[in-house]
Structure 1
Amino acid sequence: MMSSLLVGVGLTGFGWIISSFTPVVTKIINQMIKTTGINLPVVDTGWQTSALASFHSTVGISFFIVGLILEIILFLIGYTKVFFPTNLWQNWGFMIWGTVAYTVTHNFWLSLGLSIFMMLYILMVAEIQADRWSDYYKISNGTTSALHNMENAVPAIILDPLWNLFGFNKIHLTPEVLKKRLGVFGEPTFIGAILGIIIGLLGNISRLSSLDAWGQILTFGVQLAGVMTIFPLVAHLFGSAFKPLTDEITEHYIRKNTGKTTESDAIKSKKRWFLAVDDGVGYGESATIISGVILIPIIVILAFILPGNKTIPVVDLVSIPFMIESMVAVYRGNILKILCTATIWLGIGLYASSYMAPMYSASVSQYGVAATTGAALIVSFNVMARPLNALIFAAWVSGNPLWIGLTIVIYGFFQILLRTRRPQIWAYLKKMSDKNKPDYVNVVKKEQTSNRTI
């Protein structure tokens, strides 16, 4: 009962902060766009349009029922270690892709099949990174499995060896190190104020001689500092709501079944499973929100300079911390790696959302979700700026059995690999994650000394 109450309190807190912050940051971004002269035909109107359209469509509602049943069955038979129904709301992420596919193909079964396939592949990716997410965000045996979050784990894992080759793991740009080296200047509150002033300057670059402009700049600095300060407190409260449940999983499936409690044994345990929690738990974590805010002007600049891009992100820019949680977990809060991977992947995502925009606009219009911007085309940057999802979508809506079959074969290969090599995969990701620790060299030396002693 207490967990349920705290979940409600946490979600209410998130709603208050985001609903207050979104119009403020959107106003600054619109000013920045006006100042730079960006004029792109596809406007980001936020993820809310996706959710509304999903629940208005026949394919969406059908998946909501069929998907829920499948998620429960797949968990009970051990096909997946992630219990998704505890995060039932996030099913809209799968529903919207099926909804858009139906608008394009008018094929109900193919569209429903696409939503189911998206669910299967995301559950697989969620399980691959679950140990890292649980460890980093301090939610024992908890993970997020939202579609808009999980896709980013793929480039994070692939690019990690490259970043280490460049020595990024030795550049310890994490909130803890910043706080230790910079003192009060490394606190999220102060960083938020500085970032707020920088973004405010970019939004008022053409009218810096105006007192009103400087009032807005300084006000936004304080507002962003407030978000950076308050959000972690609400996130901690929200995370504590799931703690009794996730701790019970730890107690029952590790301590009682294996008699061991070490991290190594948790990785090897065949009985371990994860509770899907809302990704709001990680939004306010320091590395997550700092990286997300830094990425706001970066993404706007990319939208302006990338040739052939048609999308201008606006409303969903405030959702970037949600979009990068899996990257943050894989990189153990290494902000440099997060920014590099997110810049590349979300940059490609601009092209994905430009490709999806005509189909997305037709879909949300068909299901009664009107665009409030007056733009010819709309999109949700949070939902559609997904290169891998867009690639899968293109394969399925083509109706070509070879392309659809290829996506299934690739999924089957990695699913078998996960089923047979899960402990090794988790151990590898832990090893790569540990390389971002400031004392990684000392940890390795201790392990080598211990091995020689044995």
Structure 2
Amino acid sequence: MESLTPMVQAFLGLGPTVILPVFIFFIGLLFGLSPAKAFRSGLTIGVGFVGINLVVGLLTSNLGPAAHAMVSNFGINLHVIDIGWPGAASIAWASPIAAAVLPIGLIVNVIMLLTKTTKTMDVDIWNYWHFTFAGAFVYALTDSIAQALVAAVIFEIAILKIADWTAPYMEKYFELEGVSVPTGSTASYAPIGIPLIWLIQKIPVIKDLKADPDSIQKRFGIFGEPIFMGLILGILIGFLAGYEVGKMVQVGMAMAGVMVLMPRMVKLLMEGLIPISEAAREFLQKRFGAESEASKIYIGLDAAVTTGHPSVIATSLILVPLTLVLAVIIPGNTVLPFGDLATIPFITAMIVAAARGNIVHSVIAGAIVIGMSLLMASATAEFHTAMGVAAQFKMPEGATLISSIDQGGNLVHFIIFKVFEFIN
């Protein structure tokens, strides 16, 4: 399997803008679309992801350095470095089990679809790295490839079930019909975040606080529009980062751009996805009946399709400095938030949807979830570091221990790891 790993890495290195259109093309053919229509759908979805990746790049290239500047500004000194999802993903794909997880993951998904144990067709192949990471973590613990692959499959099954559960939020709040999100860095926070939102919205006084984009716009008029929210929150982030005025405005403009451009890129992606979803629905309805629940199928996409919503961005920008505060004040935390500060929009997406865009409620629930994630990332730092050493990962300068909020502090992954730790 180790000899296949470079081939897998080369394939995945093509990125979603190449891999996804190819998969969509063949899925379209499978569900009865003509080659021309299937090709057009795949091409349109690929172009949509090009646009989404450009906007996400705009977000992370501005938010990431600003967040890092805050760390220096605030003088925070914790000894476990958060290497972020790029570092965690590179460690995962360097694992001996990486080459096996991709085909096994696809087979498991097909079996679950055939047995009606999931409605999500996960075409987001790149994000199989989350499954791989869960397995690689167990491999570092047990030195057993068999146990590692079982752990990866358990993680995949859990994520697919959560994706099914949260799919209605994709339709009702994000207006993405027929889409689910089986991304490990988003789905794993839903089992904590969604119940927290339910609880918060039962608390007197707090439940009546409304701060969704619509209510903000009604109160502040033109200055409450998403484009202005992005500008103001971006400038605030720049201020906390200690930037000069010009740089603060640059960050503000970038965040305003994200607020406006991301929904338009998602709309383009959906233009390509709708023919596939309709073909899949018709294909299944012929076999299970028009009114059958079994005729429903969701196309599993990267959570990036949710990150441009105004409430998601606003919640995330508020949580960036708050995460640094939490890292300092939470007893037992040893992780210095760094690489995954720009990943917070992915962490909060389902929380925001459950809160119906209420930014106040989303920030409260998001802070609790991130606080728990920091503690889990602290608890798994030694194994995270051992994996990094085995993968010959280049450690950040001066770092002896590493972890990540995205996967080291991932609830589903943490539970699986603890179960395997117990039985071994």
Please say if residues 91 and 387 of structure 2, whose CA atoms lie closer than 8 Å, have aligned partners that are also in contact. yes
2:200 to 163, 166, 183: 163
Matched AA of 1:383: Q
2:269 is aligned to: 238
Consecutive unaligned residues of structure 1, counting only runs of 5 or more, are: 205-211, 261-267, 401-454
Name 1:215's counterpart in structure 2.
246
Distance 1:222 1:278 in 2: 25
Q: How much does 1:182 deviate? A: 1.9
Partner SS for 1:382: coil
Question: How far apart in 1 are the matches of 2:77 and 2:176?
Answer: 43
Does 1:68 pair with 2:68?
no
What TM-score comes out, normalization by structure 1 length? 0.79
Paired residue for 2:191, among 110, 132, 154? 154
Contact 1:47 1:383 in 2 (8 A): yes
Partner SS, residue 118 of structure 2: coil
Aligned residue in 1 for 2:75: 37
Q: Which amino acid aligns with 1:194?
A: I
Partner amino acid, structure 1, of 2:120: V
Aligned residues of 2:97 and 2:149 also touching (Cα < 8 A): yes
Indicate which of 357, 363, 366 corresponds to 1:342: 366
Q: 1:223 to 1:273 in 2, by over 3 A?
A: closer
Look up the match of 2:235.
197
Q: Secondary structure at the match of 2:393?
A: coil
| Residues 239 and 281, structure 1, Cα contact 8 Å, conserved in 2 | no
Structure-2 separation of matches of 1:8 and 1:25: 25
In structure 2, how many angstroms separate the alpha carbons of the residues matched to 1:259 and 1:111?
A: 41
Matched, 1:123 2:160: yes
Q: Which residue of 1 aligns with 2:26?
A: none
| Residue 230 (structure 1) shift | 2.2
Q: Does 1:141 align with 2:165?
A: no
Name the CA shift for 1:15/1:130 in 2 (closer, same or farther; >3 Å). closer
In the alignment, what sits opposite 2:258? 227
Question: Following TM superposition, by how much is the alpha carbon of 1:394 offset from its aligned partner in structure 2, in angstroms?
Answer: 1.4
Distance 1:174 1:247, change over 3 A: farther
- Within 2, Cα distance between the matches of 1:383 and 1:15? 21
Match of 1:314 in 2: 338
d(CA) in 2 for partners of 1:219, 1:19: 15
Counterpart AA for 2:417: F
Question: Is contact 1:139–1:243 with CA below 8 Å preserved after alignment?
Answer: no
Q: Secondary structure at the match of 1:47?
A: helix
List aligned pairs for 1:17-56, cutoff 5 A. Answer: 17-56=55-94
SS in 1 for 2:124: helix
Is the contact made by 1:346 and 1:386 (CA closer than 8 Å) also made in structure 2? no
Following superposition, the deviation at residue 31 of structure 1 comes to 2.3
Taking a change above 3 Å as real, the CA distance of residues 31 and 53 of structure 1, as seen in their structure-2 partners, is: closer
Q: Which structure 2 residues correspond to residues 93-108 of structure 1 after superposition, within 5 A?
A: 93-108=130-145
Give the corresponding residue for 1:9: 47
Structure 2: how far apart are the matches of 1:368 and 1:9?
35
Asked whether the 8 Å contact 1:22–1:315 carries over to 2, the reply is: no
In the TM superposition, residue 327 of structure 1 has moved relative to its aligned partner by 1.7
Give the superposition deviation at 1:256. 10
Distance in structure 2 (CA, Å) of the matches to 1:271 and 1:8: 26
Residue matched to 1:369: 393
2:117 counterpart of 1:79: yes
Q: Answer yes or no: is the 8 Å Cα contact 2:158–2:412 preserved in 1.
A: no
Deviation at 1:343, TM superposition (A): 0.7
Retained in 2: the 8 A contact 1:54–1:61?
Answer: no
Q: Distance in 2 between matches of 1:353 and 1:226?
A: 32
Give the aligned length.
385
State the match for 1:357 in structure 2: 381
Structure 2 letter corresponding to 1:147: G
Alpha-carbon spacing, 1:51–1:337, altered in 2? closer, same or farther (3 Å):
same
Shift, 1:98, TM fit = 0.9
Structure 1 SS opposite 2:84: coil
Partners of 1:140 and 1:250 within 8 A in 2: no
Gaps of 5+ in 2: 1-38
Pair 1:328 & 2:359 matched: no
3-state secondary structure, aligned to 2:389: helix
Deviation of residue 321 (structure 1)?
1.2
Which amino acid in structure 2 is aligned with residue 58 of structure 1? P
Give a deviation string over 1:341-391, Cα, whole Å, max 9, x none: 111011110011111222112212312332244422222222222234313
Alignment correspondent of 2:6: none
Q: Residues 365, 11 of structure 1: CA spacing in aligned structure 2 closer, same or farther, 3 A cutoff? A: farther
1:234 to 1:251, Cα distance in 2 relative to 1, 3 A: same
**Bigger Rg over Cα:** 1
Q: Deviations over 1:235-268 (max 9, x none)?
A: 32233332222234455657997667xxxxxxx8
1:382 to 382, 394, 406: 406
The alpha-carbon distance between structure 1 residues 107 and 294, as it changes in their structure 2 partners (threshold 3 A), is same
CA RMSD in angstroms, aligned pairs only: 2.3
Which secondary structure state, in structure 2, belongs to the residue aligned with residue 83 of structure 1? strand
Amino acid corresponding to residue 102 of structure 2 in structure 1: F
Instruction: Say yes or no: does 1:302 pair with 2:326.
Output: yes
2:139 aligns to what SS in structure 1?
helix
Q: 1:303 to 1:28 in 2, by over 3 A?
A: same
C-alpha distance in structure 2 between counterparts of 1:334 and 1:389, whole Å: 28
Report the Cα offset of residue 43 of structure 1. 1.6
- In 2, Cα distance between equivalents of 1:306 and 1:286: 29
Question: Which residue number corresponds to residue 179 of structure 1?
Answer: 217
SS in 2 for 1:324: helix
Q: Which moved more, 1:174-183 or 1:353-362?
A: 174-183
Inter-partner Cα distance in structure 2 for 1:155 and 1:371: 31
